[in-house]
Amino acid sequence: MYFLAFVLSCFGSSVLADDYSRSLYLDPNKTYHLSWKFNKSHIEFHTEVKTLGYVMLGLSTDGNLKNADVFFAGVSNGQPYSSNYYGNSDGKLSLQSISEWHLMYSNESNMETTLTFSRELSGPNMKMNITQNTMRVLWGYGKTDMINENFQLDGVKSLYLLEDQLPEPEMPNDAFHIQFRMNKTRIPNSETTYWCKSFETPQLDEQVHAIAFSPDIQKGHKDFVHHMIVYGCYGNTEKGNNNRHEGECYLGSMLIHWRYCTEVVFGWAVGGEKFVLPKHTGMSFGGKDDPVYYLLEMHYDNPQEKEGVLDSSGIDITLTKSKRQYNVGILSVGYTVRGCTQLIPPYAKEFKYYGNCEACGSMIKPERNNQWNEDGVKMIGVLLHAHKAAKKIRLHHYRDGKKLPDIMYDDNYDFDYQDLRRIEKEITLLKDDILQVECVYGTTDRTNFTEGGFSTKHEMCQAYIMHYPEIKLKRCTSGLNFDHKLIGTNLQYKNNQSAVKKMELIVNGLEPEVGFIQTCVNKTSRIEYMNQTFPVIKSDDPTTQQPPTTEKNSAAKFFVKTGMIFISISYWLI
Ligand SMILES: *[C@@H]1O[C@H](CO)[C@@H](O)[C@H](O)[C@H]1NC(C)=O
Ligand SMILES: *[C@@H]1O[C@H](CO)[C@@H](O)[C@H](O)[C@H]1NC(C)=O
Ligand SMILES: *[C@@H]1O[C@H](CO)[C@@H](O)[C@H](O)[C@H]1NC(C)=O
Ligand SMILES: *[C@@H]1O[C@H](CO)[C@@H](O)[C@H](O)[C@H]1NC(C)=O
Ligand SMILES: *[C@@H]1O[C@H](CO)[C@@H](O)[C@H](O)[C@H]1NC(C)=O
Ligand SMILES: *[C@@H]1O[C@H](CO)[C@@H](O)[C@H](O)[C@H]1NC(C)=O
Ligand SMILES: *[C@@H]1O[C@H](CO)[C@@H](O)[C@H](O)[C@H]1NC(C)=O
Ligand SMILES: *[C@@H]1O[C@H](CO)[C@@H](O)[C@H](O)[C@H]1NC(C)=O
Ligand SMILES: *[C@@H]1O[C@H](CO)[C@@H](O)[C@H](O)[C@H]1NC(C)=O
């Protein structure tokens, strides 16, 4: 099983700013309301803030004032004012002589300041570009119009600024709902718990389509429920269907049959919203090839280790008998999740792992016989997933030895803000295409190795690709074919980025001795191709971030010197 998380903005939208495609309150007390819209060149913000002092909005890649682009504006004695600051390396703000921001409207009344301002998205001389990456929106306001040197932020919010929200779609008349929910589950009094519960496939007379998935979080439990994933389970049907069995996931006590829950059906994470499938697609439920039962995985956060909290949160699924044209599926690609195959050294500024999907092409074909005459299938959404050490994740796409544009990327990855993001213009995936997930980790704040694994202390590197028609391939991952826990653990990584680099070369196969295992999983079985070497595809595209091949020889020497030991890993049965 794999876990993933989907996140969106937390607060309800307002009807106050109808002209804007996106809007939300930045704080739970609803003092700062932000709306915005964008076109190809500009973004236009509209703020309504309960203050008669200044209003501040800033943009940053990591949530700090350092290198942030900050705009202050307000109304003083009936006159509008505005200024643009930039965050110096010490976090102090310096006034810019030319403002990137343009105040278009201001009004102060009824204890509230209303502003409209715009900014170019990007430009060669801009210190901060607004991109598809997760932007950290910095916000604050003052009681007065005095902008103080020791300005403190009121908050930071991660947002995908350049993503339009789809209008609430019309639901068919025959729409009905099922819920996969906990039933007064006692949240353990530990910081992080993965709790699993299985559900029978609902009694349906015929195959139907799921067209929307909504989080159903118990009131007041937003702080406890970090993410939820629904898996589809196949195989071993008699024993597997332990309806409504529940317990902690990934422990020895976990039901052995839950290993058959290999297909991600849907995922959600903190603050997320409803996910609605495109009009021509639906996810099949109740058909003969559909999951035999389902598993709901809850990731509970309980940092204060509160006792006796009972939770009944879950996922609500909207279904219809008016079937859509195509079945959607989710393919997960990335680095194999096993503690012993992924290891990230401490003190690394940037440490890359690549998860490849190359040898599973025979399974990239429509799962069912629906009249699909095109070559390949269409990708419509991607969720990039890693844990707290991840800084960047990119999903690369190669065809005939050439690099195509990245299918999805986020260079400002935020673990607490993940979402299944729509691909605006559907992208074709052909049978012989190569997919590669690149994860860049930063561990400068860690003093020991970080291993791969499902817990948030461990790391993952995955992309979940929503596509249609549904293909046979469910999971396609690569991982080193030896336990490399023992290599490089005797190196001093502190103050030594070259040691970090050497380790990176090894784990990415720039070593003759190193091979990968390519794992291809369909609904019922897995195939493993041993000793794969994934060619490093050369490209002119500057967004391709490949480890430099020139260090190959020194890495090879290092390899021998440290006396690497091959340990074969025993695999889980599927
Ligand atoms: C929200 O308002 C309440 C009551 O006025 C106050 O106690 C609390 O500190 C405020 N919270 C924030 C985050 O400002
Ligand atoms: C884009 O938006 C900006 C700010 O709202 C506006 O000034 C500009 O005219 C718009 N450009 C186009 C091409 O619509
Ligand atoms: C300012 O806002 C108030 C209250 O919404 C409104 O009555 C007034 O017309 C606005 N003034 C301007 C100049 O837009
Ligand atoms: C912003 O984008 C422009 C291209 O539009 C690029 O030249 C510039 O270097 C970028 N600036 C930053 C800070 O990334
Ligand atoms: C929750 O559990 C209670 C007690 O076991 C049971 O009566 C109730 O039907 C359950 N609710 C649901 C929605 O399953
Ligand atoms: C550091 O990590 C390695 C590899 O995961 C582990 O074997 C070792 O026990 C850890 N050391 C400490 C001090 O935790
Ligand atoms: C850094 O690591 C490399 C590779 O292990 C090693 O050769 C070098 O001596 C180390 N440098 C320092 C200053 O420790
Ligand atoms: C899964 O793959 C195995 C091995 O290739 C094959 O025998 C089996 O029929 C496949 N199952 C499905 C549901 O496609
Ligand atoms: C994979 O490589 C290892 C080490 O070189 C070798 O011992 C093993 O036989 C190879 N396995 C396969 C299936 O080729």
| Model confidence band, residue 268 (pLDDT cutoffs 50, 70, 90) | confident
Cβ–ligand 2 contact at 106 (below 6 Å): no
Ligand 4 surroundings by CB, under 6 angstroms: 122-124, 126-127, 129
DSSP state for residue 288 in the 8-state scheme: T
Q: Which CATH class is domain 175-324?
A: mainly beta
Which ligand is closest in space to the CA of residue 473? 8
In contact, 136 and 143? CB cutoff 8 Å: no
CA 546, 352, 423: angle at the middle one, nearest 5?
80
- What are 163-207's pLDDT values in tens digits? 877 667 788 999 999 999 999 999 999 888 889 999 988 888 899
Please check whether the two domains, 17-159 and 175-324, share a CATH topology.
Answer: no
Residue with tokens 């159903």, as numbered in its chain: 216
Q: Sort residue 188 into left (φ over 0), alpha (ψ -120 to 50) or beta.
A: beta
Cβ–ligand 2 contact at 94 (below 6 Å): no
Cβ–ligand 7 contact at 491 (below 6 Å): yes
Q: What is the mean pLDDT of residues 144-152?
A: 85
Q: For residues 315 and 317, what is the distance between their CA atoms, to the nearest angstrom?
A: 6
Q: Which two tokens stand for residue 561?
A: 């010197």
Q: For residues 435 and 476, what is the distance between their CA atoms, to the nearest angstrom?
A: 9
Mean pLDDT of the chain: 83
For ligand 7, atom 5, name the residue with the nearest CA: 499
Q: For residues 565 and 483, what is the distance between their CA atoms, to the nearest angstrom?
A: 8
Q: Which CATH class is domain 17-159?
A: mainly beta
Q: Among residues 418, 192, 210, 419, which one has the least CA distance to residue 294?
A: 210
- What are 217-242's pLDDT values in tens digits? 999 898 799 888 898 888 665 554 55
CA–centroid distance, 368 to ligand 8, in Å, is 13
Q: Among residues 454, 572, 460, 453, which one has the least CA distance to residue 519?
A: 572
Burial class (CB in 10 A: 0-12, 13-18, 19+), 151: middle
Q: For residues 180 and 202, what is the distance between their CA atoms, to the nearest angstrom?
A: 10
Q: For residues 258 and 297, what is the distance between their CA atoms, to the nearest angstrom?
A: 11
Cβ–ligand 2 contact at 105 (below 6 Å): no
CA–centroid distance, 141 to ligand 4, in Å, is 29
Q: Which two tokens stand for residue 551?
A: 């260090």
Which amino acid is residue 232, in one-letter code? G
Name the β-bridge partners of 477.
334, 519
Residue with tokens 């796409």, as numbered in its chain: 397
Q: Sort residue 509 into left (φ over 0), alpha (ψ -120 to 50) or beta.
A: left
Write out the catalytic residue numbers: 194, 385
Is the pLDDT score of 257 beyond 90?
no
Cβ–ligand 7 contact at 502 (below 6 Å): yes
Residue 548: CB partners within 8 Å, gap ≥ 6?
none
Domain boundaries defined on the chain: 17-159, 175-324, 328-537
Euclidean distance between the first and the last CA atom of the chain, given in angstroms as a whole number:
9
Residue 73: how many other CB atoms lie within 10 Å = 23
The pLDDT value given to residue 4: 33
Ligand 6 surroundings by CB, under 6 angstroms: 448-449, 451, 485, 489
CA atoms within 13 A on the CB side of 247: 11
Pick from 12-16, 274-278, 457-461: least confident: 12-16
- What are 320-363's pLDDT values in tens digits? 999 999 999 999 999 998 766 788 999 999 999 999 999 999 99
Nearest atom in ligand 9 to 566's CA: 4
Classified by CATH at the fold level, domain 328-537 comes out as Jelly Rolls (2.60.120)
Q: 251 vs 194, 227, 248, 301, 385, CA distance in Å?
A: 10, 18, 7, 17, 22
DSSP SS3 for 207: coil
Handedness of CA 156, 457, 196, 5 (dihedral sign): positive
Which ligand is closest in space to the CA of residue 43? 2
In contact, 198 and 244? CB cutoff 8 Å: yes
- What are 52-106's pLDDT values in tens digits? 999 999 999 999 999 999 999 999 999 999 999 999 998 889 999 999 999 999 9
- What are 502-532's pLDDT values in tens digits? 888 878 877 656 678 999 998 888 899 988 8
CA atoms within 13 A on the CB side of 148: 10
Helix axes 552-561, 497-507, angle to 10 degrees: 90
Cβ–ligand 8 contact at 474 (below 6 Å): no
Torsion of CA 247, 248, 252, 253, to 10 degrees: -20
| Model confidence band, residue 487 (pLDDT cutoffs 50, 70, 90) | low
CA–centroid distance, 489 to ligand 6, in Å, is 8
Q: For residue 309, how far is the Cα from the chain centroid?
A: 28
The pLDDT value given to residue 344: 92
Which ligand is closest in space to the CA of residue 517? 9
The pLDDT value given to residue 15: 34
| Model confidence band, residue 549 (pLDDT cutoffs 50, 70, 90) | very low
pTM of the model: 0.83
Q: For residues 223 and 303, what is the distance between their CA atoms, to the nearest angstrom?
A: 10
CA–centroid distance, 50 to ligand 4, in Å, is 35
CA–centroid distance, 115 to ligand 1, in Å, is 23
